[in-house]
Structure 1
Amino acid sequence: MIYVIGIGPGDKRLMTGEALQAIEEAEVIVGYVTYIKLIKELIKHKEVVKTGMRREIDRCQEAVDIALTGKKVAVVSSGDAGIYGMAGLVLELAEKSDPALEVKVIPGITASIGAAAVLGAPIMHDFCHISLSDLMTPWEVIEKRLTHAAMADFVVCFYNPRSKGRANHLANAFQKMMEHKSRDTVVGIVKDVGRKEERKIITTMQDIDYELVDMTTMVIVGNKETYVKNGKMITPRGYSL
């Protein structure tokens, strides 16, 4: 049995009861070292398997191999395991190893949902998620998605917006989108959602300070109706008030 668990930002208060129960039931916890640290108080007496960055396939395969010995295994991801997390990879590897192996995906609070709550109500209308990581998706494909999302006036939630190796990706994405969106479009930035260092900034596409953004930051770009009131970012659903 494998539980694939979304632990949200890592704070116990923001984890579902189902996630907490699955962690309690699991005999072995498998995850990226940073995620393991976030839940260390919950897994003190568990067997733990942890790896560093870019070891996702090895980590998930090890989880499958351990589960095939009869142990209950929990693979943990920050946010929601089905949104840029480990759910898909675990399911693919489990199917290849033994189609009879039971895998249960347990949802968690993803970064866009957590950041939206901090900002107010920016994703009340149609929205999409776009990752700016081009490690597995060619930048040309990402640009096409950016263009079409901007043309359709979606609210856009950016994952993996900026890192040392991709310092200009967010700026390039905004330039591409501003071919079809106003430079005054409201932008919400939330750093370290749900953690002690949490910080909120509301700005616009033309005024954003890219240096504020890193890999633990969520960036939400509004649509043409999005506005700011009393420090809250609001995208109207269309109700007549």
Structure 2
Amino acid sequence: MEHKIVVAGIGPGNAEYMIPAALKAIENAEVLVGGSRAIEQFGKEEGQIKFIIRSDIEEVMAFIGRQLENHDVVVMVSGDPGYYSLLDAIKRTFEDKPVEVIPGLSSVQVAFSKLGMPWYDAILVSMHGRTAPREQMVYCPGKVICFLTDKKNNSRTIPDMLRKLGWPPNAMLAICNRLSYPDEKIIITTISEAIRMETVYLNCVLVVMA
């Protein structure tokens, strides 16, 4: 029997935001792959072969390849697998293997729901370990951009970039941090105020609108 890879979206972090199919796949997994927080939160203490994803993606793929000889492999990814996750690397590495994808709520979807806003016409930009094209960020009236952030591109530096690209200082900006967790924090501010803020939120979602 050919074994498969199951890529399960685990949402923003809180298990209440995961769909039942993902929870079931993780619970029944013989081999479970994920970040350290996900493994600690959702992995079984016994009865599972577990692998923590670190920075070496080739090592992750090699582990999955070895385990596929005898087991299905469940890979947990934060948010939704279709939006900046390991799914791309898995599909490229295992072109001839069956891959099942279980969707999840992305932090982008959660951020807009918390703000009570539609997001069908928003521009989605990842600044998490990458640089966004300048043309995506230039100002135009009515524009809405949602950013995924990281240590370098964060809740202070991104507003400063936008200011230099013509965004008005009073454009509204929402800083959404630790979404779905008990210590979730959402700050509604402006571009000019965010630049001056002492606290810099890393790995959060920024929603800015003209």
Q: Which residue of 2 aligns with 1:49?
A: 51
- Matched to 1:19, the amino acid is A
The answer to whether structure 1 residue 61 and structure 2 residue 58 are counterparts is no
Residue 10 of structure 2 contacts residue 105 of structure 2 at CA under 8 Å; is this kept in 1?
A: yes
Which residue in 1 is equivalent to 2:81? 81
Q: Choose from 165, 172, 193 the match for 1:186.
A: 172
The letter for the 2-side match of 1:49 is F
> Are positions 1:203 and 2:189 aligned together?
yes
TM-superposed deviation, 1:176? 3.7
Identity value in percent? 25
CA contact (8 A) 2:122 2:145 kept: yes
Q: CA deviation at 1:189?
A: 1.2
Aligned to 1:170: 158
| CA 102–145 in structure 1, closer or farther in 2 if over 3 Å, else same | same
How many residue pairs get aligned? The number is: 204
Q: 2:110 aligns to what?
A: 114
Partner Cα separation in structure 1 for residue 11 and residue 17 of structure 2: 6
Measure how far apart 1:194 and its partner are.
0.5
What residue ranges of structure 1 are gaps of 5+ in the alignment? 225-241
1:129 corresponds to 2:124: yes
User: Retained in 2: the 8 A contact 1:143–1:173?
Assistant: no
RMSD, aligned α-carbons? 2.3
Deviation per CA, 1:113-149, whole angstroms, max 9, x where unpaired?
Answer: 111222222x34501211123x4x4x4x5323322xx
| Residue 152 of structure 1, CA deviation | 7.3
TM-score for the superposition, normalised by structure 2: 0.85
Following superposition, the deviation at residue 26 of structure 1 comes to 1.9
Structure 2 residues not aligned, in runs of 5+: none
TM-score, normalised to structure 1's length? 0.75
